[in-house]
Amino acid sequence: MRRTRRREFGGARGLGAERGSVAAELAVALPAALLALMMGVGALSAAATLVSLQDAAADSARLLGRGESAARAAGVVTASVSGATSTSRSAGDLICVTASLDMRVGRLISVPLRAESCALAGGL
């Protein structure tokens, strides 16, 4: 019986030069995929916070329109969205409230959020 010696080329199909390329590609792609995932979650969180900020501004404008104190109206904004600030102004028959917040997404990115709402002065 004659034994034949099989030639070794680094694999069954001769792909020795590409050995480990999947691991290298994964090492490069995984941080990028994680960064994209984190940015997506941050964007959804910012959108949800903006909706809450808009609702708080509308509630605050209604309170001021009914004649409540400015401190109580500002307290509604602060209680609804932690760290938010508000300013109010009169524009004819309307009282407008602007609520704002600098939201941090991760450690490096700060997203300024701003919502404005107006209500009729003397409204019910």
What is the predicted pLDDT for the residue at 5? Answer: 57
**Does residue 12 lie in a domain region?**
no
Instruction: Find the domain containing 111 and state its range.
Output: 22-120
Give the three-class secondary structure for 89: strand
Q: pLDDT tens, 94-115? A: 999 999 999 988 778 889 999 9
Q: How far apart are CA 123 and CA 71, in angstroms?
A: 19
Q: Is the pLDDT of residue 42 over 80?
A: yes
Provide the domain count of the chain.
1
For the segment 36-52, the average pLDDT, to the nearest whole number, is: 92
Q: In 10 A of CB 64, how many CB atoms?
A: 25
12 vs 49: which has the higher pLDDT: 49
> Can you give the pTM of this predicted structure?
0.73
**Does residue 110 lie in a domain region?**
yes
**Does residue 30 lie in a domain region?**
yes
What is the predicted pLDDT for the residue at 105? Answer: 80
Q: How far apart are CA 107 and CA 118, in angstroms?
A: 34
**Does residue 82 lie in a domain region?**
yes
For the segment 108-124, the average pLDDT, to the nearest whole number, is: 88
**Does residue 59 lie in a domain region?**
yes
Phi-psi region of 59 (alpha: psi -120 to 50; beta: other; left: phi over 0): alpha
Q: Is the pLDDT of residue 38 over 80?
A: yes
**Does residue 47 lie in a domain region?**
yes
Binned at pLDDT 50, 70 and 90, residue 48 comes out as: very high
**Does residue 35 lie in a domain region?**
yes
**Does residue 17 lie in a domain region?**
no
